[in-house]
A and B are shown apart, each in its own frame.
Chain A
Amino acid sequence: MLVTLVVASVIIFVVIEVVPGDPASYMLGLNAAPETVAALRAELGLTESKFSRYLDWTGGMLRGDFGTSYTYRTPVSTMIADRVLISLPLALYALILSTLIAFPAGIVAATRRGSAADVGIMGATQLGVAIPNFWFAMLLVLFFAIQLRWFSAGGFPGWDQGILPGIKSLTLPAVALALPQASILARVMRSSLLDTLGEDFIRSARAKGLTARQTLWRHALRNALIPVLTIIGLQFSFLLAGAIIIENVFFLPGLGRLIFQAITQRDLIVVESVVMLLVFAVVVVTFLVDVGYAIADPRLRSGLQSA
């Protein structure tokens, strides 16, 4: 895990530093004299060697200090913290919604295979996978914000205005994010459950007298969870970093927009730190998914302990 992070930090730093463009010229615009740009570069510490800047950056991160943003001139850690407070709840919200939709849908479709319900659910998920989420988001805005005026078209009031207004403003984005995820998850759930239901041990369970429902809850579901957990893990990482388009549609100040803005302005230190944080998040989520496997499948437990 540590090796992953160190390698990631080197790659991120190198890739981002070779991108052409200079934050100081970006900030000073078209009329600034070259000596003014030079003065700003010196003030920002950009005149130091790349190697010493890499050491400063990684050394600072170990102490929890991500440095100071070139353009915003505020500590990167507080900037990231502000954005995480939106991106993380949004990702969790979307994930919960998608799980709440996908689990029952997948189970119904698998247990009533070939029925009208199955056909309907599979048709709906096909649509859900096919519809781009930003387009669905715009439809949501048109209907719920412009027509009905139940929600605002976007923006985030801040958690200090109360939990409920915060959750309310994240609802449309979370729905827009959850729909395609739920569709994928429901399909995975269905096929995984169908596979499991065809296994010998299910027949044995039925033979020893359990009802279909009991077999499903006690044996089938648990065994079908492994691929579903993998997908959930991947989806969470994606939702955390990949919500950028949805953040733009709903003008939410999340991590995706921060990184986008920082790339435009060549605020390299912010880009590097956010990407690093995301790498860290992915590593942690992967670890949690492994723990989840072990809970779902006791056979994997010994493997985890020795790792």
Chain B
Amino acid sequence: MNLKQCLGAICLVAVTSVCAAKDDLVLGMQLEPPNLDPTGGAAAAIDEVVYANIFEGLTRFASDGSVVPALAESWEISPDGTVYTFSLQQNVKFHDGSDFDASDVKFSLDRARAETSTNAQKQLFTGIDNVEAADDGSVIVTLSQPNGALLFNLAWGDAVILSPDTFDKAKTAPVGTGPFKFSRWVQGDRIEIERNPDYWGEPAKLARATFKFISEPTAAFAALMAGDVDAFPVYPAPENLPQFDADPRFNVVVGSTEGETILSTNNKQPPLDNKLVRQAIAHAIDRQALVDGAMFGYGTPIGTHFAPHHPAYVDLTGNASYDPEKAKALLKEAGYESGFTTTLKLPPPSYARRGGEIIASQLRAVGINTEISNLEWAQWLEQVFRGKDYGLTIVSHTEPMDIGIYAKPDYYFQYDNPDFQQLMTDLEAVAGPEARAELLQKAQQIIAEDYVNGFLFQLAKTGVANKDIVGLWENSPTQANDLTAVYWK
């Protein structure tokens, strides 16, 4: 073999080893999860690591937002809609090697709905009267009244199944049933997971994945450019996206989320308790200008608290069309011809801080002055969310299908409408998709016509990924990075 052949052979070896090595993935995330137990905290970052990767529930969200079977292979619903019998997948093992069976399901659901539960979404489990392990392979869930949303609720990350032997370790060393096992956590830097060779379903294509935590937008940019991270599914700086779009190494992925960004309004604080005033605010806001200015064009204007990609969505943006003259007329009618001053308290995300400036100037144009104050999240929770000491604030409500918050009169925007509350109670008892859609549409209409909040825009999911990565979620039906089907081209 002469030198040339020899070099050729070395190159070939080098190339094949590079190809073979591409079964690991480094994902960038802006926030580090505080812990890894999705049943004990609300932080989206927890689900972004563990959902569908490490932990699974009875049902799960598919990438299009539909609810599909997971640990429950199938289910039967009694004719009156109060008894659900779940048949569980066979041969499922937890990552520590122990068997998964009906007793684990009973344990997990009972723990989540218990008196002392610290589950952040405990309301998902209200109405569950009893959970019974009929035999190893089936579970019977009895409800106090029919609940058409049960299968949807059980798909949330907060409803995943943990084992009674290892649940208390879930915060730092989670043991689930998913296609990936937790391998290590270098706190402040990254979390590593690896393929679970004994997975009951289709095994993951990636052998390893790393979640790397980079909070600074400029550092996120550098990390992608330098190749330190392969993808940033929720990229923090939309202003850089055109640059990535122009770079042949990257794909920019723009999808939808469940985040309704709203100008939350204190419905009990004068003059905002006056519907005419709230209506005036709605007409004073130019939503498209807001999306262009604050979000660099990424986002869809909304007219009610509902995700536009949902089949039951009604487009009510016309109800709050941009019309400053009308806004002024409404203010005059309400007795505030010379305008008024209120507070606008902004939490840290850029949609709020940048959006707040734009909204303040749009409101000023019709005579409403706002005193802007920038708050940290902890302050915001204390003052605005718990203390209800605010006039206006901007927040994205990222939970899927959360229109039910308008039925809680003591929720921070303090909207108290018995008709709406009744509608939500009726909705719980309805299981048929068409009948549900009808009620949901009515609900959207009621809050839009009451101008409860300024409905601004649906947050877009803007991600950047290496162009050779296939299978990452485009949309975000729940905040997750499901790596089950991800692979390198």
Q: Mark A125-141, 1 if CB is under 8 A from B, else 0.
A: 00000000000001001
Residues of B within 8 A of A23 (CB): 378
Min CB distance A137 to B, Å, is: 10
Asked if A22 and B377 make an inter-chain contact with CB atoms under 8 angstroms apart, the answer reads: no
Contact (A21, B228) CB under 8 Å given A29-B42, A73-B171, A251-B216: no
Residues of B within 8 A of A31 (CB): 42, 120-121, 123, 399, 402, 405
Asked if A82 and B385 make an inter-chain contact with CB atoms under 8 angstroms apart, the answer reads: no
Asked if A265 and B34 make an inter-chain contact with CB atoms under 8 angstroms apart, the answer reads: yes
Can you name the residue of chain B whose Cβ is closest to the Cβ of A254?
Answer: B188
Contact (A153, B226) CB under 8 Å given A20-B379, A26-B377, A265-B378: yes
Asked if B222 and A36 make an inter-chain contact with CB atoms under 8 angstroms apart, the answer reads: no
The answer, among A40, A82, A153, A249, for a CB contact under 8 Å with B228, is A153
Can you name the residue of chain B whose Cβ is closest to the Cβ of A74?
Answer: B172
Q: Choose among A40, A154, A258 the residue with the greatest number of B CB atoms under 10 Å from its CB.
A: A154
The yes or no answer to A253 lying at the interface (CB within 8 A) is yes
Min CB distance B230 to A, Å, is: 13
Asked if A26 and B228 make an inter-chain contact with CB atoms under 8 angstroms apart, the answer reads: no
Q: Which secondary structure dominates where chain B touches chain A?
A: loop
Residues of B within 8 A of A251 (CB): 189, 212-216, 219, 223
Q: Mark B373-399, 1 if CB is under 8 A from A, else 0.
A: 000111101110110000000010101
Q: Of the 9-residue stretches A107-115, A144-152, A298-306, which lies at the interface with chain B?
A: A144-152
The answer, among B34, B35, B122, B381, for a CB contact under 8 Å with A22, is B381
The answer, among B216, B395, B399, for a CB contact under 8 Å with A249, is B216
Asked if A36 and B382 make an inter-chain contact with CB atoms under 8 angstroms apart, the answer reads: no
Residues of B within 8 A of A20 (CB): 378-379, 382-383
The yes or no answer to A219 lying at the interface (CB within 8 A) is no
Q: Mark B311-333, 1 if CB is under 8 A from A, else 0.
A: 00000000000000000000000
How far does the alpha carbon of A149 sit from the alpha carbon of B42 in the complex, in Å?
38
Q: Of the 9-residue stretches B93-101, B111-119, B235-243, which lies at the interface with chain A?
A: B111-119
Can you name the residue of chain A whose Cβ is closest to the Cβ of B210?
Answer: A155
The yes or no answer to B166 lying at the interface (CB within 8 A) is no
Asked if B119 and A25 make an inter-chain contact with CB atoms under 8 angstroms apart, the answer reads: no
Min CB distance A254 to B, Å, is: 8
Asked if A27 and B34 make an inter-chain contact with CB atoms under 8 angstroms apart, the answer reads: yes
The answer, among A21, A27, A265, for a CB contact under 8 Å with B382, is A21
Contact (A36, B119) CB under 8 Å given A152-B226, A251-B219: yes
Residues of A within 8 A of B171 (CB): 72-74
How far does the alpha carbon of A38 sit from the alpha carbon of B35 in the complex, in Å?
19
Min CB distance B379 to A, Å, is: 6
The answer, among B116, B121, B222, for a CB contact under 8 Å with A141, is B222
Asked if A40 and B188 make an inter-chain contact with CB atoms under 8 angstroms apart, the answer reads: no
Can you name the residue of chain B whose Cβ is closest to the Cβ of A40?
Answer: B118
The yes or no answer to A54 lying at the interface (CB within 8 A) is no
- Beta-carbon contacts under 8 Å, A238-282 to B: 248-254, 257-258, 261, 264-266
- Beta-carbon contacts under 8 Å, A26-82 to B: 26-33, 36, 39-40, 43, 71-74, 79, 82
Residues of B within 8 A of A33 (CB): 122-123
Residues of A within 8 A of B118 (CB): 28, 36, 39-40, 43
Residues of A within 8 A of B172 (CB): 72-74
The yes or no answer to A142 lying at the interface (CB within 8 A) is yes
Contact (A149, B226) CB under 8 Å given A33-B122, A71-B34, A251-B213: yes
The yes or no answer to B43 lying at the interface (CB within 8 A) is yes
- Beta-carbon contacts under 8 Å, A4-27 to B: 20-23, 25-27
The yes or no answer to A158 lying at the interface (CB within 8 A) is yes
How far does the alpha carbon of A27 sit from the alpha carbon of B158 in the complex, in Å?
13
How far does the alpha carbon of A258 sit from the alpha carbon of B115 in the complex, in Å?
33
Asked if B212 and A155 make an inter-chain contact with CB atoms under 8 angstroms apart, the answer reads: yes
The yes or no answer to A206 lying at the interface (CB within 8 A) is no
Can you name the residue of chain A whose Cβ is closest to the Cβ of B121?
Answer: A31
Contact (A27, B186) CB under 8 Å given A39-B117, A153-B225, A251-B216: no
Q: Which residues of B contact A (CB under 8 A)?
A: 32, 34-35, 41-43, 115-123, 171-172, 186-190, 212-216, 218-219, 222-223, 225-228, 376-379, 381-383, 385-386, 395, 397, 399, 402, 405
4 tightest A-B contacts by CB?
Answer: A253-B188, A29-B42, A21-B378, A71-B34
Q: A32-B121, A82-B186, A145-B228 are in contact. List 19 more A-B contacts (CB 8 A).
A: A22-B378, A26-B378, A27-B42, A29-B41, A29-B43, A29-B120, A30-B399, A39-B117, A72-B35, A82-B188, A141-B222, A146-B222, A149-B226, A149-B227, A153-B225, A155-B212, A156-B186, A251-B189, A252-B188
**17 A–B contacts, CB within 8 A, in A order:** A22-B381, A25-B381, A27-B42, A29-B41, A31-B121, A79-B187, A82-B186, A138-B222, A141-B219, A145-B226, A152-B226, A154-B228, A155-B223, A250-B219, A252-B188, A257-B188, A266-B378
Q: Which residues of A contact B (CB under 8 A)?
A: 20-23, 25-33, 36, 39-40, 43, 71-74, 79, 82-83, 138, 141-142, 145-146, 149, 152-156, 158, 248-254, 257-258, 261, 264-266
